[in-house]
């Protein structure tokens, strides 16, 4: 989704927020009822699925800082898409370093945050897919995973992973639509391999980190459907409230 489309979604969301539903709490009552525990939300999903739009949407709705993938300023991305076998390892090390930096920043500042893609997706989705495709050799892959394990010893996982699902065909169409020049040569089999890796991770390892919610973005239209956005907000609020209640119980104990 391009910047104009994202801004259109945000404009609609702000209009919806300016007109609270009947019975909704406002002012001091809403502030008193708001969850107090900092909430760290991660948005996961394949290339082009719509993570940036959802990150911006949720940041605007809850007033949370947003953290995005280093794409524009990434010194390896163009080279990587031209020659994955030459540049895959360097790119993955770059992403590993930047995502560690961002996640450490989120945790050190102590407040709520929304992050577009996590460090866990690098090591569970992208690096192993590139390794299986022969773009990262065994020695470099073993070193990469060792670096990841040493880094994540200093991190806390998100409070919730929101996985945006779409079939590879739809994902490819969205990639073409958003028009990033470096992405136009991405092959369908690569997107399919990433999709399969995501589905395995979401169905298994991701849930060992934190709760996971799945949104079928082909069925749930967060861009154009106010009811779909309202339901997503309700789900996030429920997770926030559960964390706040758990924190309160911990202090009480």
Residue 216 falls in the annotated catalytic set: no
Which of 83, 116, 140, 159 is labelled catalytic?
116
In our burial notation (b when 16+ CB lie closer than 10 A, e otherwise), range 172-209 reads bebbeeeebeebeebeeebbbbbbebbeebbeeebeeb
The answer for residues whose C-beta is within 8 angstroms of residue 61's C-beta and 6 or more apart is 13, 17, 229, 233
The per-residue DSSP string of 7-52 comes to: HHHHHHHHHHHHSPPTT---HHHHHHHS--S--EEEEEESTTSSHH
Q: Active-site positions? A: 116
């Amino acid at each position: 989704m391009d910047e104009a489309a994202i801004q259109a979604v945000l404009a609609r969301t702000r209009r919806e927020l300016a007109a609270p539903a009947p019975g909704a709490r406002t002012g001091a009552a809403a502030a008193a009822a708001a969850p107090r525990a900092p909430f760290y939300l991660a948005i996961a999903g394949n290339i082009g699925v719509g993570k940036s739009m959802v990150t911006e949407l949720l940041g605007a709705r809850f007033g949370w800082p947003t953290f995005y993938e280093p794409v524009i300023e990434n010194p390896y991305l163009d080279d990587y898409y031209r020659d994955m076998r030459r540049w895959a390892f360097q790119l993955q090390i770059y992403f590993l370093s930047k995502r560690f930096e961002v996640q450490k920043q989120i945790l050190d500042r102590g407040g709520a945050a929304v992050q577009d893609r996590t460090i866990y997706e690098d090591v569970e989705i992208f690096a192993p897919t590139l390794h299986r495709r022969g773009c990262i050799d065994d020695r470099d892959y073993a070193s990469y995973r060792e670096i990841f394990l040493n880094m994540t010893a200093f991190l806390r996982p998100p409070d919730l992973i929101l996985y945006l699902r779409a079939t590879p065909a739809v994902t490819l169409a969205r990639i073409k639509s958003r028009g990033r020049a470096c992405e136009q040569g991405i092959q369908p089999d690569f997107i399919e391999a990433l999709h399969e890796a995501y589905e395995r991770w979401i169905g298994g390892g991701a849930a060992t980190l934190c709760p996971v919610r799945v949104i079928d973005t082909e069925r749930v239209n967060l861009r154009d459907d106010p009811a779909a956005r309202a339901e997503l907000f309700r789900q996030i609020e429920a997770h926030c409230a559960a964390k706040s209640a758990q924190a309160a119980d911990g202090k009480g104990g």
